[in-house]
Amino acid sequence: MTGAGRPRLSTKKRPGDTAREEILDASAELFTTRGFTNTSTRVIAEAVGLRQASLYHHFATKDDILDALLSGTVDEPLAVAQRIRDSRADPATQMYALAYFDAGQLGASTWNLGALYLLPELRSERFETFRDHRYRLMRLYAAIASDTLVQLGSERRPGTEDLPFRLVETVVNARADVENGRHDPTADAAGIAAAAVRVLGWTGDLEPVHEDAETLLEAVAGIAVDAQPLDRP
């Protein structure tokens, strides 16, 4: 520690290129494993190796950290959903692509942040922007689902359009159960996407819609989501 002055730089404790990213990563771990209420900014600062005063330089409150984390789970899917919706792909392909992308990102994130969606704290005005973005994402899902019902000539039962979004969010619950030691298989992103179109009345083969969805996602999101053909056990 001789000649130090800024010891944090030499004892980096967390993944992340910047102090901000390290704070977010540590908070995500603490919020999802110990609970939001149980985690103080002091504990977060300690986990990153920062003084509390330096933490406040990046985030004025613990709510600001939570907001940044939750917005991160919604804002990219929202942008992708809008581009999917604006594409010329048929609705069932749009639906599969959106569910595939969103289930993939919820499943691949380092920490299972969706487990925080049901915190009563999120009802406060502080999180209005996050709630608004999440509802915008839900409405895009519902609009694509509604068009898919028309495309497939399916009967329209109240709330059916809400199901693809709900199916994608089940990735959060499945992950939580695996983290708690459950060993039974859970659906992967392709399985969730397949279910999302099935609940809307898709009855055919899923291989073509999977391939079209991959092409669409590469076009709108620049994402080579999967070089493999659809997994068939």
| Amino acid type, 53 | A
CB 48 within 8 A of CB 9: no
Give the one residue of 24, 25, 27, 32 binding a second copy; rule: CB under 8 A. Answer: 32
Burial class (CB within 10 angstroms; exposed 0-12, middle 13-18, buried 19+) of 209: buried
Q: To the nearest whole angstrom, how small is the minimum distance from the Cβ of residue 198 to a second copy? A: 5
Closest CA to 23 of 83, 78, 84, 65: 65
Q: To the nearest whole angstrom, how small is the minimum distance from the Cβ of residue 105 to a second copy? A: 18
Tell me phi and psi for residue 59, to 5 degrees.
-140, 120
Stretch 43-82 residues interacting with a second copy (CB under 8 A)? none
Stretch 77-116 residues interacting with a second copy (CB under 8 A)? 115
Question: Residues 184-223 vs a second copy: string with x where CB under 8 A?
Answer: xxxxx-xx--xx--xx-x-x--------------------
Output the DSSP codes for 99-151.
Answer: HHHHHHHHHHSSS-GGGGTT-GGGGSGGGHHHHHHHHHHHHHHHHHHHHHHHH
Distance, in Å, from the CA atom of 121 to the CA atom of 110, rounded to the nearest integer, reads: 23
Q: To the nearest whole angstrom, how small is the minimum distance from the Cβ of residue 176 to a second copy? A: 5
Give the one residue of 182, 208, 215, 218 binding a second copy; rule: CB under 8 A. Answer: 182
Q: To the nearest whole angstrom, how small is the minimum distance from the Cβ of residue 187 to a second copy? A: 4
Cα R_g (the chain), whole angstroms: 20
Nearer to a second copy, 32 or 105 (CB): 32
**CB under 8 A: which stretch of 75-83, 89-97, 180-188, 218-226 binds a second copy?**
180-188
Binding site for a second copy (CB under 8 A): 32-35, 37-38, 115, 117-123, 131, 135, 138-139, 142, 155-163, 166-167, 169-170, 172-174, 176-177, 180, 182, 184-188, 190-191, 194-195, 198-199, 201, 203, 231-233
